Amino acid sequence: MILTGPEITSASQDGRLRIDPFSSSQVNPNSYNVRLGPTLLTYTDEVLDSHRHNPTRRIQVGKDGYALQPGELYLGHTMEEVGSDCFVPLLFGRSSVGRLGLFVEITAPIGDIGFHGLMLTPTRPVHVYAGMKIGQIMFFVSDGAIDLYSGKYQASAGPQPSAYWRDLDASAVTS
């Protein structure tokens, strides 16, 4: 079951859902618009290694925006802190952003209960701006016992690079 706009508003008011800051103007019929935060990360190595930490470069999106380039993966965050201990969030790019050739969160749209973040992949150069409505989150009612997310990205602030290497068994890592 998907929460409707009025139920998103109600759940954010009674504490079942946390959206901070919350704006009623960002509520849709069955989703909530989220805005791009001012910080992006991009990887600095040409080849990424899933068995090691990959260095990143921090980018501040200024008032004049920032031009994303094709062939780059940008890790971003939303201005809103979104979370819930009972609803499962699904993040999608907005169609107007997709029509600019910018894909938002195409590989991992399902957020674990209690987690948020986003990935940006441009198909052509496109300027983005902090505060622009970048995506929309839908909330699903969970059924059954809840095991809250407590993974490697829990309680992170801002964009986070991959920590896949932390999941690897030491015997699987080769030098």
Over the range 93-115, which residues count as b (16 or more CB within 10 Å of their CB) and which as e? bbeebeeeebebbeeebebebbb
Mean pLDDT of all residues in 40-53: 93
Q: 4 or 162: whose pLDDT is higher?
A: 4
Task: Enumerate domains of the chain plus CATH numbers.
Answer: 5-44+56-144 (2.70.40.10)
Mean pLDDT of all residues in 75-85: 88
Q: What is the pLDDT of residue 47?
A: 95
| pLDDT tens track for 129-168 | 999 999 999 999 877 666 665 554 555 566 666 666 667 6
List the structure tokens of 50: 């899933």
Would you call the peptide bond into 21 cis, given omega within 30 degrees of 0 as the criterion? yes
| Window from 53-62, 116-125, 129-138, 149-158 with minimum mean pLDDT | 149-158
One DSSP character per residue, 32-52 reads: EEEEB-SEEEEE-SSS--TTS
| pLDDT tens track for 24-45 | 999 999 999 999 999 999 999 9
Burial (Cβ within 10 Å: 0-12, 13-18, ≥19) of residue 30: middle
8 phi/psi in degrees, rounded to 5? -60, -45
